[in-house]
Chain A
Amino acid sequence: GEDVEQSLFLSVREGDSSVINCTYTDSSSTYLYWYKQEPGAGLQLLTYIFSNMDMKQDQRLTVLLNKKDKHLSLRIADTQTGDSAIYFCAERPGGGSARQLTFGSGTQLTVLP
């Protein structure tokens, strides 16, 4: 079955870059996503990438996709304290309905002043 794995914790200094990594198992995944969840809140879509792309940049966010290794990463440039949150990687498997995403368990990003 589908599985998405992420490291649980990441700590960086304010102003540094953060890199959050994710691996997935479904080779038929069509889209891959990064969501952000702040305490007591729902999930906010940050960005997504189509599986035939290898990079997508959106302001401070850069997504890299290595489809051969089934590895996805999210780089946040100039990380700020407001970026402290849980970041979820998710894939949309090739089968299933359009909104049936498989999420990882999340990476808790802590930004230190």
Chain B
Amino acid sequence: EVQLVESGGGLVQPGGSLRLSCAASGFTFNNYEMNWVRQAPGKGLEWISYISTSGSIIYYADSVKGRFTISRDNAKNSLYLQMNSLRAEDTAVYYCARKATSAGFGFDYWGEGTLVTVSS
């Protein structure tokens, strides 16, 4: 059974940092591209970052570029998101989602999400 389990969320002050993790199981992790998607309370989905199977290709949304860093450890079947200089508008549920490598494939498995609250 495919599972993605996020952790690391919590309450952080503006300007602070958090590191999110996503533990993957039930599939060959290094065969899949991975993404982080967030959802602010009561709002829609916002993609924030992508990483290729090897980690050699990385993309970010403009809203987080320069502040967030995505990475993966294929030996540990884990995906990470280092979040620095956090702002109130970063408050959201953060999901990790996998994607097959072929074009046009969507995000076929999502974790349950971890809530990040940025507030003083």
A complexed with B = no
Interface residues of A (CB under 8 A from B): none
